[in-house]
Copies of this chain bind each other. A is one copy, B any other.
């Protein structure tokens, strides 16, 4: 039996994949390289390409091909690929092309202005652009809701974490809210009795850059298939064949950049290890944003704050920054596991991090659902920071609602993925330990291959072969179970 329709679909997806390659590289360049006056033309170019890709994804013949392919004699992998093509088609067809283009333009403008508004703490300037971004995100949520039958916020979140619903997030985050404040208190109390030497600055940017490269090498990043550059907000972009990671440097502290780099390396290796023979087809794609985050957190937290990791990091730190008492292994480990409520999500330790996510979830959901407006954000932010982390953030917009690129870039429904990812990561490491009882000794000895091999075979190489619950079950032997995350935090921080 022929597979004519399926083959035609594959050819179209490969074409879209190639064109979106240019969009990805130009987007990365916009954040990492582009001078100010280039932005208008770049935004128009990206919007034009966004519109073109949307047009290709919604061509009328696709529906017929998808229906015909469903009747063809496909093997399991082809069928999974077809399932992802159908999913992509549904998502694309929910949005009119004019909305896709307007979104791209508004997001790009808002994000670009944010780059100078954030250092200026210019909330009122930012909110002018953000209002339009939110208006279009609500419109997007309505469109997606209409075709999926989901609530507007759930419809947005489903794009990043397919199958996840706010009812489930409420349940999991509700559970977290119960034990997290107490856990934070206990950890702070325990750590208040420990002596920690702070590294003495300054740390030259060039030295930090070289250190970051060595850390990426330790974590297995392939520099023949990717780069590390700088941008205002660190991210992992580019394409699977050429991963473009970014970081930013502070001369007064090297740890945020170092651990941020290790975090992005987790994203980068996931992309670098997607199956080459599937590349260009939807089945090759990373499974979801929560799964993606589980990989960056496996690198940054499961490994990065592992008691054995400081011993691996110390020689690299000393090589590039010189030695000082703070770089003694035990102290380095204490630095890497320091828990301290702070303003900045991306700099947060893994214990307080979920509080940042809960806060954003509790603001963006009513914002999308129209219960609050952009002007209401600062007051809510201040109240929740006080409630969850005991911090006063009034008037500090730069380190408050302007700290993240997400909302300005039109990404709503994304934030929960960070904490779902932390839970997946804890569950995966629990599974690894059952299979490899001496895993912790191996990590401490610098044998990270056991971890990387497990992740490669269970997660990276699987791409979008399985839907998320099935992937998690096959990888770890059970469905998502947040108990592993709680056990992980208790063992590491109170053990």
Give the B-binding residues of A (Cβ under 8 A). Answer: 15, 18-19, 21-23, 25-26, 29, 33-38, 40-42, 44-49, 52, 222-227, 239, 241-242, 279
Contact = CB atoms under 8 A, between A and B. Distances in A.
A225 B37 contact: yes
Contact of A35 (B23, B34, B45, B223): B223
Given A23-B22, A42-B21, A42-B242, A224 B37 contact: yes
Given A22-B45, A37-B222, 5 more contacts: A18-B44, A18-B47, A25-B26, A35-B226, A35-B242
Contact of A52 (B19, B33, B224, B279): B19
A239 B41 contact: yes
Contact of A25 (B21, B25, B52, B226): B25
A19 B49 contact: yes
B223 A38 contact: no
18 contacts: A18-B44, A18-B45, A18-B49, A19-B45, A19-B49, A22-B23, A22-B46, A34-B242, A35-B223, A35-B225, A35-B226, A35-B227, A37-B224, A37-B241, A37-B242, A38-B226, A41-B239, A42-B242
Q: In this complex, which of A23, A29, A40, A223 has the most chain B Cβ atoms within 10 angstroms of its Cβ?
A: A29
Contacts of A48: 15, 18-19
Contacts of A25: 25-26, 29, 42
A49 B227 CA distance: 24
Number of copies of this chain that the complex holds? 2
Contacts of A36: 224
Describe A's contact surface by its main secondary structure. helix
Contacts of A18: 41, 44-45, 47-49
Nearest to A45: B21
A377 to B, nearest CB: 31
Nearest to A242: B38
Contacts of A46: 22
Nearest to A222: B37
Contacts of A21: 26, 41-42, 44-45
A454 to B, nearest CB: 24
A23 to B, nearest CB: 7
A279 B40 CA distance: 12
A242 to B, nearest CB: 3
Contacts of A225: 35, 37-38
Contacts of A47: 18
A52 B227 CA distance: 28
Contacts of A42: 21, 25, 241-242
A41 B52 CA distance: 20
Contacts of A239: 38, 41
B49 A22 contact: yes
Contacts of A44: 18, 21
Contacts of A19: 45, 48-49, 52
A165 to B, nearest CB: 36
A15 B26 CA distance: 17
A18 B34 CA distance: 16
A24 to B, nearest CB: 9
Q: In this complex, which of A35, A44, A48, A224 has the most chain B Cβ atoms within 10 angstroms of its Cβ?
A: A35
A11 to B, nearest CB: 12
Given A48-B15, A242-B42, A26 B35 contact: no
Contacts of A15: 48
Contacts of A23: 22
A241 B22 contact: no
A26 B37 contact: no
Q: In this complex, which of A222, A225, A279 has the most chain B Cβ atoms within 10 angstroms of its Cβ?
A: A225
A329 to B, nearest CB: 33
Contact of A227 (B33, B41, B224, B242): B33
Contacts of A227: 33, 35
Contacts of A29: 25, 29
A22 B46 CA distance: 8
Q: Would you list the 10 A-B pairs with minimal beta carbon distance, nearest first?
A: A38-B242, A21-B45, A41-B241, A18-B48, A37-B225, A22-B22, A18-B45, A37-B224, A22-B26, A36-B224
A245 to B, nearest CB: 12
A35 B48 CA distance: 27
A33 B239 CA distance: 14
A348 to B, nearest CB: 31
A216 to B, nearest CB: 13
Contact of A242 (B41, B49, B222, B226): B41
